[in-house]
């Protein structure tokens, strides 16, 4: 498992390049609340945490395939990951953060469009409130 990257996966890099090309600036692999729970892309001013979850590691309902060997190890591990994802989402939400999750199989252009629209709307709301 040491060969599996925690950050800078292909999909993350593609989405980050698209966001950067649109003039958006963000933090990468940043912990909004505590050091152990890190989001893939974070917009600190707008308090938005973006997660791009891997289909295998996070139990994608469309693409997760149970391994045939060592299944007694893998499924509980994936269940813990799913539970931790839910807990992170709730903790961040309770702290006033917007949490957006995407799957690695989603189109990077669509992910970047969605993020850019969210950030633009949050910026517009904050400028109206000021």
Domain that holds residue 100: 10-37+56-129
Q: Is the dihedral of CA 79, 98, 93, 7 positive or negative?
A: positive
Q: How many domains does the chain have?
A: 1
Instruction: Say if 64 falls within a structural domain.
Output: yes
User: Would residue 71 count as lying in a domain?
Assistant: yes
DSSP for the chain?
-TTS-SS--HHHHHHHHHHHHTT---EEEE-SSSTTS-EEEEETTTTEEEEEE-TTTTT-TTT----SSSHHHHHHHHHHHHHHHHHHHHHHHHTT-EEEEEETTS-HHHHHHHHHHHHHHHHHHHHHH-
Q: Is residue 82 part of a domain?
A: yes
pLDDT tens by residue, 17-43: 999 999 999 999 999 998 888 999 999
Mean residue pLDDT of the chain comes to: 93
Say what percent of the chain tops pLDDT 90: 81
Q: pLDDT at position 69, please?
A: 92
Give a yes or no: residue 88 inside a domain. Answer: yes
Q: For the whole model, what pTM was predicted? A: 0.91
Each residue's pLDDT tens digit, 52-83: 999 999 999 999 888 889 989 999 999 999 99
44 occurs within a structural domain = no
Q: What is the CATH number of the domain that holds 23?
A: 3.40.960.10
């Amino acid at each position: 498992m040491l060969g599996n990257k925690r950050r800078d996966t292909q999909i993350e890099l593609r989405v980050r390049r698209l966001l950067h090309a649109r003039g958006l600036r963000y933090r990468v692999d940043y912990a909004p609340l505590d050091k152990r729970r890190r989001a893939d892309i974070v917009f600190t001013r707008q308090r938005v945490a973006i997660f791009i979850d891997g289909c295998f590691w996070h139990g994608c309902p469309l693409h997760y395939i149970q391994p045939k060997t060592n299944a007694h190890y893998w499924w509980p591990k994936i269940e813990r990951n799913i539970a931790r994802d839910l807990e992170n989402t709730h903790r961040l939400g309770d702290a006033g953060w917007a949490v957006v999750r995407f799957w690695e199989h989603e189109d990077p252009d669509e992910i970047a469009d969605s993020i850019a629209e969210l950030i633009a709307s949050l910026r517009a709301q904050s400028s109206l409130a000021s």
